[in-house]
Amino acid sequence: MAKSSKARVQRKSQANAPAHKKSKTMSSHLSEELREKYGVRSVRVCKGDSVVVLRGNEDICGFEGKVLEVYTKTGRVSIEGITIEQADGSSTERPIHASNLVVVKLNEEDPWRMDALNSKKEAKQ
């Protein structure tokens, strides 16, 4: 995204990026079965997708759940069943970066998304 080699300049450009570029960073790899089915390596994570956590602490690594919410501003998603304990004792959703996930089941409710995936598959054939 950034042309600078300085880490702070890259972080700043990523934080101040326009919405269409931030949306691109919300993508995650597809599982092997979905990769074969759609002919695409990665896809944008959407609410309702089932994902598996690949990276992170031992307590969340390998966890499978449904995406509850997508935070485009920070590049993170909240997953059903993954919570963090707060100082006052209450628990809240734990945001996880989209690059640390693998999509195992797509939410097929959006017709535009499915048309785009199917057209990419047809274009490769």
Number of neighbours of residue 112 by Cβ within 10 angstroms: 7
Rg, C-alpha atoms of the chain: 16
Number of neighbours of residue 31 by Cβ within 10 angstroms: 16
In 7-117, at which residue ranges do the beta strands (DSSP E only) sit? 27-30, 42-44, 50-53, 64-71, 76-85, 91-97, 101-105
List, for residues 75-125, the tens digit of each pLDDT value: 899 999 999 999 999 999 999 999 999 999 999 898 998 898 888 888 877
Domains of the chain from N-terminus onward: 11-108 (2.30.30.30)
- Model confidence, pTM: 0.84
Taking the C-alpha atoms of residue 74 and residue 62, their distance in angstroms, rounded to an integer, is 22
List, for residues 30-89, the tens digit of each pLDDT value: 999 999 988 899 999 999 999 999 998 888 899 999 999 999 888 899 999 999 999 999
The two beta strands, 101-105 and 50-53, are: antiparallel
Q: Which helix (H) or strand (E) element contains residue 21? A: helix 19-24
Taking the C-alpha atoms of residue 122 and residue 125, their distance in angstroms, rounded to an integer, is 5
Question: Which one has a higher pLDDT value, 105 or 23?
Answer: 105
Q: Could you say which DSSP state residue 2 is in?
A: -
Per DSSP, helices labelled H in 60-109 are: none
